[in-house]
Each structure stands twice: as C-alpha cells, then as structure tokens.
C-alpha cells in the first residue's frame, strides 16, 4: 500500500469493475457492517456471506482475510461520512454539523468492533480514515463557528472525541443515547 493512503482511492482500488461482482462487493460490505454492529468483530464470515446472498468463496475472493474485510468496511463507512459532509455543506451551519455528528455516532458502532478486533493497531488505512474524518468534519465545524452557533474554543479533535466518548458507552436503548448526544451538543452551542 502506498505511504499516503487516500480513502476514496483505496475503496476504488478494492471495488471490482464487473457490474455483478461490484454488486456482490457492495452487498458484502453492507452485510459486514450490519453484522459487526450487531455481533462485534467476532461476527461469522459465513453469516456475512449469507446476509449478502453470496457464497463464502465470493466473500474470500473479495476479502482474502478478515483484516482486509475490517479495513474495507471501515474505509467505506468513513468515505460515506465524508460524502455526507460535502452534501451537508449546503445546509445551514448548525443543523449540518449536528446531523453529521449524529451519523458519526452510528458509524462509531462499526468502528468500535473493528478497532477492538485489531487491538487498536494503527494501519495506513486507519490513519488515512482518521485524517479523512478530520478533513470532512472541520469545514462543518468552522462554518458553524463562523456563524456564531458553536463555541469558538473547540476544535474538530475535541468534538470527535466528545462524540466518540458518548458512543462508546452502552445504552439500554437508542433513545437514551440520542438524548445524551443532544445534551452534549447543547454544550457545544455558543451562548449568545
């Protein structure tokens, strides 16, 4: 892998060119994301293949190792969040940032399972994903700060750590997690 990994380029290089193979690849990513969110890193590869509607051989052709599957799912999640940040840049500053952070919380469930499996190892792909998250979220935060809607004394690293901390706690239901996230986001708002 090159020294400087770019998440979108990494994904493009992984995705098959043939339409049917690309559909299988996409189905496997979606199934893996779902399985990792439900069962953690120990999710069964056979279950992932079954959820995707393909055989285990198709899974291994696309993802020769469990680690390769982890990295690709993780990179895909980050890429989707980056694309969402670009889409949200046309929205009013605070709602755009808040929506992106809510989606970030959902992404961290998959991230946590994958990071646990790799024992926090910092691979080139993970480092590129972290940089991509900062690059995607920073303009949303800066816009909200310039509009006077978010405290000026926080940076993207502070904000992502705050939200990651909330998402790392087990909640009895999503409603409580959403309430706690709302409380944290209220603390991020500027006091006019």
Give the integer Cα–Cα distance in Å for 113 and 74: 10
What was the pLDDT predicted at 41? 81
Domain containing residue 57: CATH number? 1.10.357.10
Instruction: Tokens for 8, please give them.
Output: 């979108």
In a domain, 1, yes or no: no
Nearest to 45 by CA among 72, 22, 70, 14: 70
In a domain, 184, yes or no: yes
Structural domains in the chain (count): 1
Supply the Cα-derived Rg of the chain in whole angstroms: 18
Nearest to 77 by CA among 40, 120, 130, 117: 130
In a domain, 25, yes or no: yes
Burial class (CB in 10 A: 0-12, 13-18, 19+), 3: exposed
- 119 pLDDT band, cuts 50/70/90, is low
In a domain, 168, yes or no: yes
Length of the chain: 192
What was the pLDDT predicted at 167? 79
**Per-chain mean pLDDT for the chain:** 88
Give the integer Cα–Cα distance in Å for 183 and 162: 11
Range of the domain at 115: 7-188
Residue tagged 């999710």 (tokens): 43
In a domain, 2, yes or no: no
Tens of pLDDT, residue by residue over 121-150, are: 677 888 888 899 999 999 999 999 999 999
In degrees, to the nearest 5, what angle opens at C-alpha 31 toward C-alphas 29 and 34? Answer: 110
Helix (H, G, I), strand (E, B) or coil at 139: helix
Residue tagged 């285990």 (tokens): 56
Q: Are 43 and 35 in contact (CB under 8 A)?
A: yes
In a domain, 123, yes or no: yes
Tens of pLDDT, residue by residue over 37-96, are: 888 888 999 999 999 999 999 999 999 998 889 889 988 988 999 999 999 999 999 999
Q: pTM for the full model?
A: 0.82
In a domain, 141, yes or no: yes
Strand partners, 189: 150
Give the integer Cα–Cα distance in Å for 30 and 164: 22
């Amino acid at each position: 892998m090159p020294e400087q990994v770019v998440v979108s380029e990494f994904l493009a290089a992984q995705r098959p060119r043939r339409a049917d193979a690309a559909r299988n690849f996409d189905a496997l990513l979606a199934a893996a994301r779902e399985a990792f969110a439900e069962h953690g890193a120990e999710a069964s590869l056979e279950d992932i293949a079954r959820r995707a509607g393909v055989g285990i051989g198709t899974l291994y052709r696309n993802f020769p190792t469990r680690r390769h599957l982890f990295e690709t799912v993780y990179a895909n999640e980050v890429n989707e969040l980056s694309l969402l940040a670009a889409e949200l840049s046309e929205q009013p500053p605070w709602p755009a940032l808040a929506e992106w952070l809510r989606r970030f919380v959902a992404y961290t469930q998959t991230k946590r399972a994958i990071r646990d499996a790799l024992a926090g190892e910092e691979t080139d792909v993970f480092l590129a994903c972290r940089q991509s998250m900062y690059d995607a979220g920073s303009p949303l935060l800066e816009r909200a700060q310039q509009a006077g809607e978010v405290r000026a004394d926080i940076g993207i690293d502070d904000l992502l750590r705050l939200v990651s901390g909330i998402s790392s706690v087990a909640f009895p239901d999503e409603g409580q997690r959403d309430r706690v996230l709302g409380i944290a986001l209220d603390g991020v708002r500027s006091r006019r």
